[in-house]
Amino acid sequence: MLFPVLLFAQKNKDTPKTLDLIIGTYTSGSSKGISVYRFYTESGRVAYLSQITGVDNPSYLCVSDNNKFVYAVNEETKGGVSSFSFDPKSGKLGFINKQSSLGADPCYISVDKDQKNLFVANYSSGNIAVFPLNKDGSIAPGIQTIHDDGHGPNKDRQEKAHVHTAVLSPDEKYVLYTDLGTDKLNITRYKSSQSNPIRPVDPPFVKVTPGNGPRHIAFSPDEKHLYLIQEMGSAITLFDYKKGHVTAKQTVSLLPEGFKGETGAADIHISPDGKFLYASNRGDANEIIVYAINQDTGELTYVDRTSSKGKGPRNFVIDPTGSFLLVANQNSNTVYVFRIDKNSGKLTPTSNRIDIGNPVCLKFAPAE
């Protein structure tokens, strides 16, 4: 999720020269927690700042809009969510507290701009959970869960619900969540003042091609379109979007003609100028695919595909200047920096990289 970055870019007319790059990891390997690096937007250079250890599998992160707190899931069978204070000058994190995620294997987390609530997707238990936030950044016990029911045609991976995301709409009036297990994109209305802040809209969901396995989503900057990447089908579906309602418009494959290897589509982001869409694909592909976005219709046209220079490009991020794309190769323990050609959208690898154990999530925050 690029929420804090996009908001920062909108608020500041001057191009930021430095950012904090916050990296979530799996701690089953050499990583011990969350690491922070300084990122220089003029050169793409990265420099180590700090690490907080003793955090179990902080695989996905989000940053509060006021830049004072970082929140992480603890992706385990007995799932958790943890809060941290954040000093953007030094890049240091300080542990605040931890709560049960009210589910198993939480894999996604987001926070509203007003610092009222956290939203967590619990993958293995197939539910989304809501957690109020205190003024000191600490997380209160969860107050609401919505469990998805059903299954898909793939008996190995879709035997039950597997919720993958919990994303706020740009106006924060809706929370959308994907379910890989049931092939659904679910939509809920969000009102922070209510005791149960989210409730399904009517209709409450749309379905994709059975067996495709919805994963992550991205909104266009003009908020008129929504793009859904599907992990198992290695496809992207474009929806027209308006006030919590979606209409499918186009589906494109991430795969080159004749490809027969294993795949696993993962992440999806749009350039800050809204001209290009980027998607990652894992398995035997291990690449970033680039599409041009039609500015009138939102439809996608294939541009290029580039090796991620590693294995398992789980997550990637675009800096708010639109000059660089950084990709986390989870299975080869690297983060690579690519330069973006703003005219063509194509990527060129740079010599800048980070060696880090099992990187999963990359988030930018303004450096002060």
Token reading at 12 = 């500041």
Beta bridge partners of 304: 290
Considering the entire predicted model, what is its pTM? 0.95
Compute the distance between CA of residue 364 and CA of residue 317 in angstroms, rounded to an integer.
Answer: 8
What tokens does 31 get? 């990583």
Return the pLDDT at 316.
98
Query: What pLDDT does residue 16 have?
Result: 74
Cβ contact 190:173 at 8 Å: yes
What tens digit of pLDDT does each residue of 136-178 get?
A: 999 999 999 999 999 999 999 999 999 999 999 999 999 999 9
- Burial of residue 1 (CB within 10 Å: 0-12, 13-18, 19+) is buried
Note whether 129 and 147 are within 8 A (CB): no
- Cα separation, 92 vs 87, in Å, equals 5
User: Which one-letter amino acid corresponds to residue 206?
Assistant: V
In the numeric block, which tokens belong to residue 218? 């991205």
Both tokens of residue 293?
């976005």
Give the integer Cα–Cα distance in Å for 118 and 81. 9
Nearest to 93 by CA among 22, 31, 45, 39: 22
Return d(Cα 278, Cα 269) in angstroms, integer: 5
CA distance from start to end of the chain: 21
* pLDDT tens digits for range 275-333: 999 999 999 999 999 999 999 999 999 999 999 999 999 999 999 999 999 999 999 99
Tokens of 333: 């323990």
Beta carbons within 10 angstroms of residue 224's beta carbon: 14
What number of other Cβ atoms are within 10 A of residue 62's Cβ? 25
Taking CA 73 as the corner, what is the angle to CA 67 and CA 61, rounded to the nearest 5 degrees? 35
Cα–Cα distance measured from residue 144 to residue 198, given in angstroms and rounded to the nearest whole number: 8
Q: Domain 3-366 is of which CATH architecture?
A: 7 Propeller (2.130)
Instruction: For the chain, list residues with pLDDT below 70.
Output: 1-15
- Residue 214 phi/psi, 5° resolution? -55, 145
Q: pLDDT above 90 covers what percent of the chain?
A: 95
Are the C-beta atoms of residues 185 and 217 closer than 8 Å to each other?
yes
Per-residue model confidence (pLDDT) at position 180: 98
CA gap 337, 354 in Å, rounded: 9
3-class SS of residue 57: coil
Of 331, 329, 336, residue with least CA distance to 354? 336
Q: Which residues contact 33 (CB under 8 A, 6 or more apart)?
A: 25, 27, 51, 52, 53, 54, 55, 58
| pLDDT for residue 15 | 63
Q: Tell me the two tokens of residue 2.
A: 């690029």
Give the C-alpha separation, 327 to 79, whole Å.
26
